Chains A and B, each alone.
Chain A
Amino acid sequence: MYPHLTSKEKRGGPILFSGYNRGEGIKKAFSLKREDILFEIKTSGLKGRGGAGFPASTKWMLTAAAAAEKKFIVCNADEGEPGTFKDRVLLLEYPALVFEGMIIAGYTIGAQTGIVYLRGEYEFMLEFLEEYLIEMRNDNLLGENILGSNFSFDISIRLGSGAYVCGEETALIESLEGYRGEPRNRPPYPVNTGYMGYPTVVNNVETLSSVPHIILKGAEWFRKFGTDKSTGSKLFSVSGDCEKQGVYELPWGLTIQELLDFVNAKNTKAVQVGGASGVCLPKSQFNRKLAYEDAATGGSIIIFNKSRNMLKVLKNFMEFFVEESCGQCTPCRVGNVKLLEGVEKIEKGEYTLSYINTLKELGKTMKAASKCGLGQTSPNSFISILDNFKDEIFYPNGKRSKL
């Protein structure tokens, strides 16, 4: 019925891919007090899986504490980071986890409405998800008085229109409200002033999907996986030069090399950790751990082998940011153009090293002064590729390229 639902091989994993029966999480959650759920989530150390790594419990607590007549749970399914395709797997294969995570979040913070902001390119799964929601409503897992409790909650799905920046939570909210998708100033934060001005929790698909498991099996069980600061597991979307591209659930804290071996990557020159907005690491750093405290990622792992031209890789990323900047703030709007121009200058050999250094400085200013995460991270690949692959880029054949 949905050919795109079939995966190449049976997935397995410690947490998210460990199997789940619909309704289990909600039932357990409803038997707990709201404070207990918050405590459990806090103890679990669950952090935002979209890339920023903000503690989920903090968002929940602040929203729970905010006094308002309405509150909202928004599931950020605007999976737009290049090289990330894990939320798509969760939505297609484990929709119960996503939706129940939202219901539990709603129950905990006192929200009655959940909204899934689905990236425009995922329109193909809309019908499936809508049908799934209907099934859940029929089973009284959604809607009025869920499972006979006095808690009512419903979920609607809204489509984005393909803007990368709408994955930023405040731009996402603007977009939900029907406006141009542009990040808002913070503070105020969405936990106080979010969708339609009401306190709103915006969580990534994967973050929400972890919630039912934590509720069912406990925070201590969750903490058994991963490292001290990066608890639990992570879905890695592995693409590029390897034999087994795909989505894998692995505990946080494994090294890049371990992951490369896992997917049979050979002759690897570079790994882009965290998508276009992440950093590009050379072989010498493959012993780094994939974790919030070391090489952090929202899931995207792009592998480049020896045949790849790193300057072209960088150019591709910078073109992406020039196009996807929302155009609101100066450092991001103009800065990315200047970085791209710099790459083009290097390509043509019409550059001075001092100008390239100025551009790297500019990158630092962009990271410090941009309004949202887009401009604050877009120089990452510029700086890391030029730093980590300077021999290849500036001294091909052992010689400085034309001046």
Chain B
Amino acid sequence: MSRNNFSRVPVSQKAHTVKSSGDLSGIGSCVSIEINEKKVSVPLGTTILDACRNSQVHIPTLCHHEDLCVAGVCRICVVEVEGMKTLQTACTFPVTSPVKVKTTSPVVRKARRRIIELLLSEHYGECCSCIRNGNCELQSLAKEYGVDNYTFGHIQKPKYEADSSSSSVIRDMNKCVLCRRCVRTCIDLQEVGALEALNRGNETMIGTFLDKPLSDVICINCGQCINRCPTGALYTKDPSDEIWKAIDDPKKHVVIQTAPSPRAAIGEEFGIEPGHSFTQELNIALKRIGYDKVFDTNFTADLTIIEEGTELLSRLKKALVNKDPSVCLPQFTSCSPGWVKFIEHFNPEYLDYLSTAKSPQQMFGAITKTFYAKEAGIDPADIITVALMPCSAKKFECSRPEMTDSGFKDVDFGLTTRELAQMIKEAGIYLPEMPKSGFDDPFGEASGAGLIFGATGGVMEAALRTVYELVTGREVPFKNLVIEPCRGFEGIKQASVKLEKCVEKYNWLEGVELKFIVAHGTANAKKVMEMLQRGELKDVHFVEIMACPGGCLGGGGQPIPTSETIRSKRAEAIYKDEEGLPVRKSHENSHVNYLYENFLTDGPCGELSHKLLHTHYIKRGKFIS
């Protein structure tokens, strides 16, 4: 139970939690309890909340989130437990004896309603002018409990100025209900610790270290806090007004690239069950909105694989053949901008381990404003590149000063799934009913390898398909190209594949066991970095890290709510789409090959590709000035 890192200022909420019930249920002991006079049997240690949910008894919650440890601070879920003087929170109360629980007694109903009214009295703003209108847990609770007036008043003036210093995440504490989900997300789920509770009593607020602007602290822009905020206190910086302006400007050529994860999740914004992708419908919808071209980010995902794979092979050669001790292995992926900022803050001494390859988003921007502009005969100054991403950190990434290798801002706007859904709705389009269409050329073809970038392990799987085949001349030895060890939501996955009967060019790799690690969520990234520091990764060659739990499909720009079930459904949708694709290996993408033949003529990791497709990183450190 004790927390292992006592030097950190932000406080883990884990010690407040109930002991895990897992080991108790393992021995099979059950308790018979009464919920509203109905007998049920539950494993010892189950919380009252879980016991009720399993018996179809609804308990309202606000500070509770299934991805996070319990807090028990909002008190919405209070229930009556016979023999206890006070009401107990269902989310924190572990059943260890045959208790009798009442979930809708007059005392309970009154308490819940009063608590909602108290929250509303301090909750500034009106629902109609809120970004979360229609998808707000406080609003739903008010409706559920029939709140029809502000019994305890309603705050008329904002108490705080919204912090819009970050390029990704905006914090408006006037709408905060102090459920602390963001704090728990930041410190416990992601182990970043940019957010914490400040002050005391009614001055309590969620803030940063010394209440500095978010842009000045160690926030990695992952946006996981947004996905778990029950209200409109946290949201992304929305560029859609500027995009609309560009679309309405006939001189501007507005192109959009769509990443695989938003396509697998955007249906949720239109009331569709998670697990359905709307890739082709989205193409039509985007055209109807007025985008001039719709491209597939998977195209540059393939390009990333070629560049990153080539880089890996050259690092391997330097290490294995030239015995160069300065080579940094394992090579870490660099396509997750949240992860990149994480390592820049927390492990800046290991930046050389990162692949220098840009993320697919940034490669796309650079290629669009150079190669595409030339091919299409458009002045790159008139091209506006928009990237539909599942990610809030992509907004920060595209505004990094080094991301201007095309001579312009490579990607003008990062747009999240939620923001695009809003644009589509505003354009009067119901996405699920759109006809289907493919992508525009010349970046319309993409392989399945690019598609699976959306799920944790996808980059690794894609890279292995290409690297293995390049080295041995044969397909990866996995049935149907599905590299199972890369899939699934386990925090850190380790596996290896042996390189045998290599082609002549790569005979120096003969017999090498290619070892790789896949991790998602920066809490797991931190563990991997600790392994690296302890020297445990000496024989590992390649590490994929995604900042968000589940990978991109769980990104900070994805539809709200999120949960492990929702994320795994999105993953299923991506994998299902992938199996149906004709081309499933990056190096077989003919458009990518065309690009190398006609534009990046000095090949992968060549001079031009180094200029356009590779980048460098900044040692930020974790100390805030």
A residues whose Cβ falls under 8 Å from a Cβ of B: 163, 174, 177-180, 182, 184-185, 187-188, 193, 196-198, 322-331, 333-338, 341, 358, 361-362, 365, 367-371, 376
Contacts and interface: CB of A to CB of B under 8 A. Distances in A.
Interface stretch (B87-95, B438-446, B546-554, B611-619): B87-95
A323 B94 CA distance: 32
Contacts of B75: 329-331, 369-371
Contacts of B93: 187
B202 A333 contact: yes
Interface of B: 1-3, 6, 11, 15-19, 70-76, 78, 86-87, 89, 92-94, 96, 107, 110-111, 114-115, 118-119, 121-122, 151-153, 177-178, 197, 199-204
B86 A329 contact: no
A24 B200 CA distance: 44
Contacts of A193: 1, 19
A325 B18 contact: no
B87 A328 contact: no
A327 B18 contact: no
A187 B18 contact: yes
A184 B1 CA distance: 13
Nearest to B76: A330
A185 B89 contact: yes
A171 to B, nearest CB: 11
A330 B15 CA distance: 20
A362 B116 CA distance: 12
A338 B70 CA distance: 27
Ranked 8 nearest A-B pairs via Cβ: A327-B204, A197-B1, A197-B2, A334-B118, A185-B92, A185-B72, A365-B114, A325-B201
Contacts of A367: 86
Nearest to A335: B118
Contacts of B16: 184-185
Contact of B115 (A187, A323, A331): A331
Given A334-B118, A362-B114, A369 B201 contact: no
A268 B111 CA distance: 37
Contact of B151 (A329, A333, A358): A358
A281 to B, nearest CB: 21
A260 to B, nearest CB: 30
Contacts of B115: 330-331, 365, 369
Given A180-B11, A323-B200, 7 more contacts: A185-B18, A331-B75, A331-B115, A333-B201, A361-B114, A370-B75, A370-B86
B interface, over-half SS: loop
A369 B201 CA distance: 17
A281 B500 CA distance: 88
A327 B178 contact: yes
Given A185-B92, A330-B74, A368-B87, A337 B111 contact: no
7 contacts: A197-B15, A323-B201, A327-B203, A328-B204, A330-B119, A362-B114, A362-B152
Nearest to A355: B151
A334 B76 CA distance: 14
Given A185-B18, A323-B201, A327-B197, A178 B86 contact: no
B73 A325 contact: no
Query: Quick one: which of B2, B78, B202 has the most chain A CB within 10 A?
Result: B202
Contacts of B70: 185
A290 B540 CA distance: 72
A327 B178 CA distance: 9
Nearest to B179: A330
Query: Quick one: which of B6, B114, B177 has the most chain A CB within 10 A?
Result: B114
A375 to B, nearest CB: 9
A196 B87 contact: no
Contacts of B121: 334, 338
B230 to A, nearest CB: 13
B315 to A, nearest CB: 43
Contacts of B15: 174, 177, 179, 184, 197
B78 A369 contact: yes
A338 B111 contact: no
B469 to A, nearest CB: 51
B107 A333 contact: no
A208 to B, nearest CB: 25
Nearest to A366: B114
Query: Quick one: which of A179, A367, A376 has the most chain B CB within 10 A?
Result: A179
Given A331-B115, A368-B87, A371-B72, A322 B202 contact: yes
A218 to B, nearest CB: 32
Contacts of A371: 72-73, 75, 89
